[in-house]
Amino acid sequence: MSEATETSNETELTHREKIEAVINEIRPMLMFDGGDCELVDVSEDGKTVYVRLQGACGHCPSAMYTIKYGIEQVLKDMVPGVETVEAVP
């Protein structure tokens, strides 16, 4: 493996770890309402985060608000490079 590839993989891993850490900080608030959030994937460029809402959050009529105005906003504020959060079934 080349040095560039190793550095790229380390950077991606670090970026994903930061995203997971922020989701872990948000998780207690979701769990308080009977829900949870699973990090499914992160785009190659790190700009798009794919999550799956679980429990009560997965079926809540306000789920898109939770994603866009809760999870997405916090991730954008705390993890440089994150631009959007998308829900996956």
Q: Do the Cβ atoms of 71 and 26 come closer than 8 Å?
A: yes
Among the residue ranges 5-14, 50-59, 66-75, the one predicted with the least confidence is 5-14
Q: What is the CA radius of gyration of the chain?
A: 14
Average pLDDT of span 70-87? 97
Convert the pLDDT of each residue in 22-53 to its tens digit.
999 999 999 998 999 999 999 999 999 999 99
Give pLDDT, residue 9.
Answer: 58
Percent of the chain topping pLDDT 90? 75
CATH, range 3-87: 3.30.300.130
CB contact at 8 A, 75 and 11 = no
Per domain, the residue ranges of the chain are 3-87
Q: Give the helix/strand (H/E) hosting 40.
A: strand 35-42
State how far the Cα of 85 lies from the Cα of 64, in Å rounded to an integer.
Answer: 10
